[in-house]
Amino acid sequence: MAELIDLVLLAMLALTALRIIFLKDLFAIVMLFGIYSFLSALIFINLDAVDVAFTEASVGAGISTVLMLGTLALTGRKEKKSSRSSILPLFVVCVTGAALIYGTLDMPPFGHPDNPIHQHVAPRYIEESPKEVGLPNMVTSVLASYRGFDTFGETVVVFAAAIGVLSLLGIRRRKDKDAPESGLETHHVLHVVAKVIIPLVILFALYVQFHGDFGPGGGFQAGVIGAAAFILYALVFGLPKSFAVVSPKILQLMASFGVLLYASVGLYSMSKGGNFLDYNKLAADPLAGQHYGIIIIELGVGITVFAVMLSIFYAFASQAERSNIQ
């Protein structure tokens, strides 16, 4: 029965992607992309990847869709007809697809426990991580402890994206007070519901941050969910009020602070005599050291991702403000 769910969901995914090719209305394309992300999150759960499903649902169907809609507000809704013929792209795609399908026939069959991928490193992680790291969630222990360098690089990449977007767009404050307020003034139902929901979303973000050791969760998902709460506030109550609540300067400080926190854990463990990001040296007992290290770096990751996602949204939204006022 689980295979049937797999088959049907993957077929729906293929149909959604196929439909994106033929549409000309960009708003509908972005909505279909949101559906595509949600469907892939469902498929990930069916394939036992609960952490990945969490991240894909919050990042792909949440932040990516919001940013694309923000871009559409500035660039227009319809795609114009292309003057080039589509025979050559179709031919290239068909040849590449045929070659790839011929290549997949060589792959080991789906799901067998004695595939080569399950042979070398993975049994060591599965058997040793409860003893060496001590967390129930093996994905968090691999992400934060065994592969801590990769996660550090990822945090720096997210920070670099914030630098890129802020240097391209910048966050413009309004100079005059007489320009019209943004936000949804007449939507009283939205105002009330947003006031009820936003504290609960922030609470959920904190829960996901600290519960990442025991269940699906962790710094990335928590940062994105927290940013979503403040994005909702900015959409409903207007951007000037949102700047007053969380100003862009604070966000820049938070983003840098998160990366520095991660790096300082590494430097501290070097000062104690171990390697960079060696958590065993952080406390007297190696398991306790691992716990401290993982909690602190996940906090750093969560703070950076929250600040970066919110800064990127501020950059996009203040562009729309500028063109509205002009």
Partner 1 sequence: MNFILDYYNYWIVVFLMMTGFYIVISANNLVKKIVGLNVFQTSVFMLYISMGKVTGGTAPIVAEGVTQYSNPLPHVLILTAIVVGVATTAVGLALIIRIKRAYGTVEENEFDNKDDAI
Partner 2 sequence: MFVLDIISSILLIAGVFFGLSGAVGLFKFPDFFTRVHAASITDSIAAILIIGGLLLQTSFDLNTAKLLFILAFLMITSPTASHALAKSARHGGLLTLAEVKEEKEEKQQEQSH
Kindly indicate which of the ranges 26-34, 188-196, 269-277, 285-293 contains the residues binding partner 1, using the contact rule CB under 8 A: 26-34
Half-sphere exposure of 202 (CA within 13 A, CB side): 11
CB atoms within 10 A of CB 86: 10
- Is residue 61 within the footprint of partner 1 (CB under 8 A)? no
According to the binding rule CB under 8 A, does residue 307 interact with partner 1? Answer: no
Range 209-228, binding partner 1 (CB under 8 A): 214-216, 218, 220
Nearest to residue 218, comparing CAs of 155, 135, 299?
A: 299
Q: Report in angstroms how near the CB of residue 191 gets to partner 1 at its nearest.
A: 28
In the bound state with partner 1, the residue whose beta carbon lies nearer, of 60 and 240, is 60
Query: In the complex, which residues of this chain contact partner 2 (CB under 8 A)?
Result: 184, 186-187, 189-190, 193, 196-197, 200
CA geometry: angle at 92 spanning 87 and 96, to 5°? 150
For partner 2, the closer CB: 184 or 288: 184
Q: Considering the complex, state which of residue 105 and residue 196 has its C-beta at the smaller distance from partner 2.
A: 196
Q: Which is nearer to partner 2, 118 or 195 (CB)?
A: 195
CB of 79 to partner 1, least distance (A): 4
Partner whose binding site includes residue 193, from partner 1, partner 2, none (CB under 5 to 8 Å by kind): partner 2
Binding partner at 325 among partner 1, partner 2, none, C-beta below 5 to 8 Å by kind: none
- Which residues 152-191 are close enough to bind partner 1 by CB under 8 A? 154, 157-158, 160-161, 164-165, 168-169
Rounded Cα distance between 278 and 135, Å, is: 16
When asked if residue 82 is in the footprint of partner 1 (CB under 8 A), the reply is yes
DSSP 93: H
If binding is defined by CB under 8 A, does position 68 make contact with partner 1? Answer: yes
Task: Return contacts of 223-226, CB within 8 angstroms, 24+ apart.
Answer: 223/301, 223/302, 223/303, 223/304, 223/305, 223/306, 223/307, 223/308, 223/309, 224/55, 224/58, 224/59, 224/62, 224/63, 224/305, 224/306, 224/309, 225/58, 225/62, 225/201, 226/201, 226/202, 226/302, 226/306
Check the CA dihedral 127-131-136-140 and report its sign: negative
326 binding partner 1? (CB under 8 A): no
Q: Which is nearer to partner 1, 57 or 194 (CB)?
A: 57
Look at residue 168 and give the partner it binds from partner 1, partner 2, none, a contact being a CB closer than 5 to 8 Å depending on partner kind. partner 1
The whole-angstrom separation of Cα 287 and Cα 221 is: 25
Pick from 5, 8, 96, 253: which binds partner 1 (CB under 8 A)?
A: 96
Stretch that binds partner 1, among 64-72, 194-202, 226-234, 243-251 (CB under 8 A): 64-72
Handedness of CA 174, 176, 177, 183 (dihedral sign): negative
Report, in Å, the least distance between residue 267 CB and partner 1: 22
Let me know if 271 is exposed, middle or buried by CB neighbors in 10 A (0-12, 13-18, 19+): exposed
Report 276-305 residues binding partner 1 (CB under 8 A).
Answer: 305
